[in-house]
Structure 1
Amino acid sequence: MSSRQWLSSALRQAQTVVSRPAPLQRLSISTTSPAAALRNLPNSNSRSTPAGRLTSLGDGGPRPSSNEVLRDYMPTGQHRSRQGDGDRAAIKDMAQLHETDSYMKMIARRWKKGDVYAPRDLSPVEMRRWKLWNESQGDAVDLLGFNPLDNYRNMALISEFITPFGRIMNRKESGLRPVNQRKMAKAIRRAIALGLHPSVHKHPQLLLHRRGGVPSTSLHPSSSAPRL
């Protein structure tokens, strides 16, 4: 081979090397979206909270153990102590209320406005005396000998067997026998149904008479007044 041929072949090889592009280096380009990339970033603050541990289950992060989840949502010792104090206070209040109701049931005397009493009147001995007296007192209907059903228009009589709020008195307060108590209750309901007596308080004329606004003669209508 001549020197000219050798130079021409060497020149062609050099041109081939120069014209061949250099191999591109593989770049590590991520195909993850920015939102997904931010979501996949480790966040120690969010993972440290109970809600963060639960939300990390779907993010492919480390799964918290069942003990950690239960420990996060179990009440702490301080919370349990406060809850226990509140329960104990509620139980104590209920016990006091039950004790008060028990003492109220033992009181046989029903106090009224204006009653004067001494400290000994609240003793159990006096309570037993009032209980015996209430059981042994006579029936007003039998003593006076009248029929309550025939006196439903007598507002003074009706007002004696109702409370200041218009409720029918209990037999323990009125002292009537069961038969007379039923008759009196029927007479009171009849007077209220006919509009002769109010259903929520005593008769207005009786209230005015007790205050001194109406003379006592106005409580007894004359014979010329129309009768129902």
Structure 2
Amino acid sequence: MPPRLSFLPAVTAPSALLRRLARPLSTSPALSQSKPNSAFDILTLDERPAPGNNAERVQNLVRGGKFAQSEAQLARKRFELQQLRERKTSDDYMKQMPRKWRTGDVYAPHDMNPHQLARWKKRTAPKHDVTDLLSLNPLDMYKVCCLSSIGSRKRRKADNDQNFSMISEYMTSFGQIKNSRDTGLRPRNQRRMAKAIRRVIGMGIHPSVHFHPEIIMKRLQGGQKW
């Protein structure tokens, strides 16, 4: 006698298949996924944003601004030092040049010959007395004169006639009085100038071994080199 088969499994099998196919289209809430394991955390460590990334980004921006500012200051200092070196080199060359060129002077290459330039190095003595041309008294170049009016009791004070630049012009850098062949003064005016120089040094109102401080200050303000 042949075996009897149950009809119930044949009916329930299609229903299970239909449930399995309809599950992805279901509107029921999905179950929570399982958390990744430690191996997955290690592999995705570089991909995840690090905590406090915004704060570090702000700090990096601040550091970059300070670094750029310091670099700009260093570049400015280097540029200023380079300008000072170039200016010093130019001034050194100008000091070695015996002939002083002016705007509009016409010269030929022959004028740059060392023998021609040596002719300009020689200083010629003045041929005229400056004090006579300007009607000056060398003894009045360092003091304040008190003039009295003739025939009256009133007295008036003249302006300060201290002329330190003129005193320095007739002195050497060692405080010595220049000779008359270098100054071009007459014997009488040469004696007056020598007396004025000795007096200002003795009174302590003019240094004997360097320029007057007022002259030094004016030359420094004018940007002149020594």
TM-score, normalization by structure 2: 0.37
- Give the alignment's TM-score, normalised by structure 1: 0.37
